Amino acid sequence: MADTYTQLYVQIVFAVKGRHSLIPREHKEELHRYVTGIVKNRGAKLLAIHCMPDHVHVFIGFSPTLTIASLARDIKTATSSFIKEKRWTRIPFYWQEGYGAFTYSHSQVGAVVRYILNQEEHHRKHTFREEYLTLLEKFEVPFETKYLFEWIDDGVRK
């Protein structure tokens, strides 16, 4: 009997609306577990996750029946509601529209997992803006700056 065999690895990156640092570090692990459950319930495998105060990286082994758009939507919708219900922020919590999605080969899985798990160290040297622009350029994703996330650094929109 014929079957479908795939290896589909995708890193999804998305940011807090307005790039505010609203994800409390003390709740990061709880949010990681919550996202893991969402991914698992959708029939995918979470390979790595790291929630920074202002953005999230998830690295997922995809089923060919699942779309990146539907999973990104489900993660963002469910976690936004979860964070609001937990009252982790003083202001209303929202994710910015859109996300970045980047594919990798099986040989790159270990390096991507290490990269995502090492976000704290990475962001001591690079801002999220620098990181995101580097990903877009590395993957040769065409973009227009005016359509990227709202960048707020030191209270100034960029």
Identify the domain containing residue 32 by its residue range.
Answer: 8-157
Residue 107 lies in a domain: yes
Could you count the other beta carbons within 10 Å of the beta carbon of residue 26?
7
Nearest C-alpha neighbor of 64 from the set 123, 8, 25: 8
Looking at every residue in the chain, the average pLDDT score rounds to: 91
pLDDT tier, 146 (very low <50, low <70, confident <90, very high otherwise)? confident
State the total domains in the chain: 1
Write down the pLDDT at residue 101.
Answer: 97
Identity of the residue numbered 41: N
Residue 3 lies in a domain: no
Nearest C-alpha neighbor of 19 from the set 84, 98, 88, 81: 98
Measured CA to CA, the distance from residue 58 to residue 29 in angstroms comes to: 13
Residue 27 lies in a domain: yes
Residue 120 lies in a domain: yes
Residue 90 lies in a domain: yes
Q: Which CATH number covers residue 96?
A: 3.30.70.1290
Q: What is the pLDDT of residues 70-127, one digit of tens each?
A: 999 999 999 999 999 999 998 889 999 999 999 999 999 999 999 999 999 999 999 8
Pairing relationship of beta strands 55-62 and 45-51 according to DSSP bridges: antiparallel
Six-digit token pair at 83? 């964070």
Write down the pLDDT at residue 144.
Answer: 86
Better pLDDT: 22 or 146: 22
Measured CA to CA, the distance from residue 135 to residue 12 in angstroms comes to: 11
Give the global pTM.
0.90
**Residue showing tokens 């690295």:** 59
Residue 2 lies in a domain: no
Write down the pLDDT at residue 154.
Answer: 41
Residue 124 lies in a domain: yes
Six-digit token pair at 64? 């060919």
Q: What is the pLDDT of residues 60-69, one digit of tens each?
A: 999 899 999 9
Measured CA to CA, the distance from residue 89 to residue 27 in angstroms comes to: 11
pLDDT tier, 19 (very low <50, low <70, confident <90, very high otherwise)? confident
Half-sphere exposure at residue 35, Cβ-oriented, CA atoms within 13 angstroms: 26
Measured CA to CA, the distance from residue 22 to residue 45 in angstroms comes to: 26
Asked if residues 59 and 9 have their Cβ atoms less than 8 Å apart, the reply is yes
Write down the pLDDT at residue 75.
Answer: 98
Write down the pLDDT at residue 156.
Answer: 40
pLDDT tier, 150 (very low <50, low <70, confident <90, very high otherwise)? low
Residue 1 lies in a domain: no
Write down the pLDDT at residue 153.
Answer: 52
